[in-house]
Structure 1
Amino acid sequence: MVVKAQLRAKLEVTQQQATQAHTQLQELQQQKSQIQNSACNLASVVSGKFSCLLQALELRRISAQRDIEAAQTQALAPALDEEQRLRGHLEALAQYGQRVQGLLEQVDDQTFLQDLQQLSEPPGPFGPLTPLQWDEDKQLGNLKELLSLLSGLLLEEGAPATVPARAPDLVPLKAPDPEAQVPSMVCPLRKKLWQNYRNLTFDPDSANRHFSLSCQDQRVTHCRRSQGPARLGSFELWQVQCTQSFRVGHHYWEVRTSDHSVTLGVAYSELTRQKLGTNTDNIGRESCSWGLCIQADSVLARHNGDSWRLPRVSARLLGIDLDLACGCLAFYSLEPQVQLLHTFHALFTRPLYPVFWLLEGRTLTLCHQPGAKLPPAPQEAASALH
């Protein structure tokens, strides 16, 4: 009996230790999640600042080029007058020389004397040239001043506050604050698009087994090694779709890519998930999907097996605008400025899921914007049709 009592006491101690270890594990996981979320949010803040800076730099580059061209025109204006005067002077000298040469070749003395009396005096010296004024240091000085002001965007007092170490409610990546200093020529369109902003998440059950989801299912990375057994209903193709779908209304979302070799699009739920042939993707290859493929040297818009080659653009930050009432699906490049890449026009008859393909080593992040509206619930979408 004494031995049993000792064993029970040891068991009780072991259970207490196990409970304590579970609690410590939960605390550790919570701290880990908080650090991951904080890092994602900090990356978003920095990315937003650099995005604004790149857009402002592009505008300043255009402005600086115009200033240099205007200064060049002003500096060369006197040169045009001097050049015209010099050409006139050279022409007068040439004419005088021809007349003198003609006199020297004259063999008749009487004619020579008559022509000599009519010969005017040679043109006088042209005189010193007016020095052209071109202050290269002044042009560079103005540019340096502009760059100094622009670099202040990263350190301005209006920058988002430092992310706290503990922030359980933080979202991984958000769109830049609408009030941030974005050049006015690109702000209005993007702000208008933000009116229908949707915060989306990837569907883990749809992800290819080589895909790793993180940041609360808002970031996906294509890994070389399998991340586990394939889930029921997941893509055999290198693809993943979102949990949310859209049946009615107007919706907009943004995606940040780590590099080219990615495809963004929307598809009906019947999009084939099995791999057929050698292709590792099928977005835009079937009638039930529409996609934009970002390649190293170009951009392709695809639907039902047809493709349209578009000019190469910066495609690190992309926007997708879906207006179901108008039957329009538009893709935008957002850096260094907002640029419409392609618009599909179709009669969408079933719920559409955002869907993505990415090459090995690539990462996609669904940007989140605080205060963005959630997609309508299925029952709300259904009732809106009646």
Structure 2
Amino acid sequence: MSRPPFRADHVGSFLRPERLRAARERFAAGHMAAQELHAIEDDCIREVVRAQENVGLKGITDGEFRRTFFHVDFLERLHGVEVRYGEFAAHFKKSDGTEVGFAPPTMHVDSKVKWAGPIQGPDFDFLKSATTRTPKVCIPAPSMLHFRGGREAISEGVYPDLEDFYADLTAAYRAEIADLAARGLRYLQFDDTNLAYLCDPDIRARTKARGDDPDALTRLYCRLINDSIRDRPRDMTVCVHLCRGNFKSAWVAQGGYEPVAEILLNEMKIDGFFLEYDDERSGDFAPLRFAPKSATVVLGLMSSKRAEPEPKDDVKRRIDEAAKYIPLSQCALSHQCGFSSTAHGNDLTESDQWIKLARLVEIAEEVWGKI
């Protein structure tokens, strides 16, 4: 495909090189100037761009090397958003049954949400200058400012009517997207954990218990995306990536896409869906029957959580299974998530990461031809 999403694509984040991690630690401790850190980030981004190009990817990201979290670093730049730490503990699970404790930050809205100026723009400018291929920017979906805290995290004094909050939030997103579009961005990805969490029966039950209707939230989150992108240029590709949790090779949610698929795939007016399908937690491919003919489904059949490269025949067999529900020509291939949704990274090495990505490109070319 000449336009994204590409037959072999990547969700966004890469493992942080050791010298970048060390530099960020020194900066946080007050032992390095911001300018020096920025120069190291620039060097590391140039290197990860070359590595992506060398492995054969066409959609190129900066690896999220300037971020600590895939979502917080963006959302906290919106006026009115306050980040708090230690309010609750999440229990991420690994495939071996062990758990990884983590107290993720939570976002609160204590004043009117506004776009305070470019967030990803300068980073995109640098990425664009570093590659001759298609630069992609990944930002958190607007739902990431709502689901975790719900009504309680959004001041009733500021927003007695949540519709006013949604209007301000999507207006801020439109301003950011307009700035990125003016700089030349034509490949945008929203990262969303909440729609995938709403596939989990236990999380759906807890959502109902707090007074929210999971189906109504699914429709709301689709509307927030649609409202955010309504002024995008015609030639800008927009995708959404759904994730069930990706922290130190551990996960949070499980459950197939059936509870959200019909609403998600038909009401969200975008160009592509990056869907996790790396293990049994994601269920079967039957929900893909709802996919519109206008959208590409990027099958996240390979795992960014494990070091071992997937056998090619196993991946091809699963692509064939998916093709029973959606035309093969409408599909593409990726890992289920990035390799480092937070700066902590998953449990594999940089070498493992590039071997797996090379395998991804090989499989895509064998299935669909030269990408």
Same fold (TM over 0.5): no
Task: Report the TM-score range of the alignment, normalised by the length of the smaller protein.
Answer: under 0.3
Higher relative contact order (CA 8 A, sep 6+): 2
TM-score, normalization: structure 2? 0.28
Normalised by the length of structure 1, the TM-score is 0.27
